[in-house]
Amino acid sequence: MNQSIADIKNELNVIITGDVLQLETSVELFAKKYCNDTRKGVINLLTKGEKIVKIYNDELERVKFMLTYEECFKDSGYIGGIDEAGRGPLAGPVVAACVILDPKDPILYVNDSKKLSAIKREELYVEIINRSISYGIGVVSEKDIDEINILQATYKAMRLAIGKLKIKPNHLLNDAVIIPEIYIPQEKIIKGDAKSLSIAAASILAKVSRDRIMVAYDELYPEYNFASNKGYGSSEHIKAIKQSGPSKIHRNTFIKNFL
């Protein structure tokens, strides 16, 4: 007797959620097993399996491209990717991250944090933390931003992130900057979070870390809706500043035109 379509669907789901390294082989075996089953539901499941394998192989190719810079400098030793989050907001800190990935164990679906949903960023944040060789996160407050300006504060956050690494990188891949006072060879890569897997991973850690900080601040200052706007200058946020005045975490040098 033929297996029910529900059972076959469950079988495919087990393959999809199983060992990703065995995905293509497992789907091929699944296809051979049911290739003579002419039921429409089974044919649809076979097509679904083929599409999933294609998506997986396309992702492998994308990740391979995203490791181009890491491959160029692999003879240097450990490669650290650096990026920041929060240069533009009116409130809250700027956060930077530095990540050293294992080139033998690339993390799929890592991308520029701006291209990912909040849920996917959170998932990848945990995976990066667990699978990276080392990572560091640096946070510089709004008070420092007002005192030394946002560019210098960003550099400071990046230096802090590098300093928190348990393993010192031999080469740095930076998103669009050269960091002063760092005596490690650096590469400035324009739009690096879309070109380097290490920088993209850093962008995710920085973004998620800062978003969590702003969500926590929302409980202290609910009138500004930081959980939603993350401190950026939405019309709602600017209206709240005009009505309630600045909070303790607003960047005074950023909001003087609104007061």
pLDDT tens-digit map of 46-80: 999 999 999 999 999 999 999 999 999 999 999 99
**The residue to which tokens 């210098």 are assigned:** 152
Parse the chain into domains and list their residue ranges.
Answer: 5-66, 75-207
Among 85, 59, 106, 68, CA closest to 175:
85
CA 145 to chain centre: 24
- On whether the CB atoms of residues 209 and 95 are closer than 8 A, the answer is yes
Segment 200-218 shows an average pLDDT of: 98
Mean pLDDT computed over 146-173: 98
**Mean pLDDT over each residue of the chain, to the nearest integer:** 95
- Dihedral over Cα of 66, 69, 73, 78: its sign: negative
pLDDT tens per residue across span 111-153: 999 999 999 999 999 999 999 999 999 999 999 999 999 999 9
Residues 92, 231: contact at Cβ < 8 Å?
yes
Angle, CA of 62, 82 and 187, to the nearest 5°: 85
Q: State how beta strands 94-100 and 134-140 pair.
A: antiparallel
Model pTM score: 0.90
Token duo for residue 49 = 């399996």
Q: Which residue type is seen at 57?
A: N
Question: 75-207 has which CATH code?
Answer: 3.30.420.10
Provide the pLDDT for residue 19.
77
Q: Which amino acid is at 184?
A: I
Rounded to 10 deg, the angle between the 40-66 and 5-16 helix axes is 10
d(CA 115, CA 113): 5
Res 257: pLDDT = 84
Q: Residue 171 is encoded by which pair of tokens?
A: 């080469």
The number of CA neighbours under 13 Å toward the Cβ of 103 is 18
Contact assessment for residue 212 and residue 226, using Cβ atoms and an 8 Å cutoff? no
